[in-house]
Amino acid sequence: MEKTLVIIKPGAIQRGLIGEVIKRFEQKGLQLCGMKMIQLNEEILMAHYAHLVEKPFFGRIKTAMTATPVVVCCFKGMNAVHLVHKMAGATNGREAQQGTIRGDFSMSIQENIIHTSDTIKTAQDELARFFKEDEIFDYKQSNLDFLYASDEI
């Protein structure tokens, strides 16, 4: 089973959407394996958004992502990386499909509710950036037999 990262961004924190975001993933059948609230700083933002540091809008990203603490989550499930990324919807909330998290709650490309890992490698790197090993838990999900067929798990 794959593990992936979700960051609930400051805009979602301010709007009281933490529970709604987590609820969507849990209702789908993904297992919450780690969660904490942290305040992002320049060091972690430079590492996390290394691919955007030279872009003219990077200052705006830093301002937005440090406006409040964020909630970082680790979710686990079959094809979790792809599934979570798909459930998030298009980066631009105005273009995201209704029914996705961004499609239902975002009107912006910047204030787009959540960050999700886009590949298995990225998920591994991002989880290591935001969580210590002992902050991600493996435990038996009691409803596993009702989420997957016996030959899927």
pLDDT tens string 23-41: 999 999 999 999 999 999 9
What pLDDT, on a 0 to 100 scale, did the predictor assign at position 44?
96
What is the domain extent for residue 92?
2-147
Q: What distance, in Å, lies between the first and last C-alpha atoms of the chain?
A: 8
Is residue 39 in a domain?
Answer: yes
Looking at the 3D structure of the chain, how many domains does it have?
Answer: 1
Say which CATH number the domain at 105 has.
Answer: 3.30.70.141
63 — pLDDT class (breaks 50, 70, 90): very high
Residue 14 lies in a domain: yes
Query: Is residue 132 a part of any domain in this protein?
Result: yes
Does 153 score more than 90 pLDDT? no
What mean pLDDT is predicted for residues 100-117? 96
| Average pLDDT over the chain, rounded to an integer | 96
- On the CB side of 37, CA atoms within 13 Å amount to 6
The question of whether 51 is a catalytic residue gets the answer no
Largest interatomic CA distance in the chain: 50
pLDDT in the model for residue 102: 98
Amino acid (1-letter code) at residue 53? V
Residue 143 within a domain = yes
Per residue in 128-152, pLDDT (tens digit) is 999 999 999 999 999 999 999 989 8
Kindly list the distances between the CA atom of residue 85 and the CA atoms of 3, 68, 111, 115, in Å, as whole numbers in the listed order: 12, 23, 16, 8
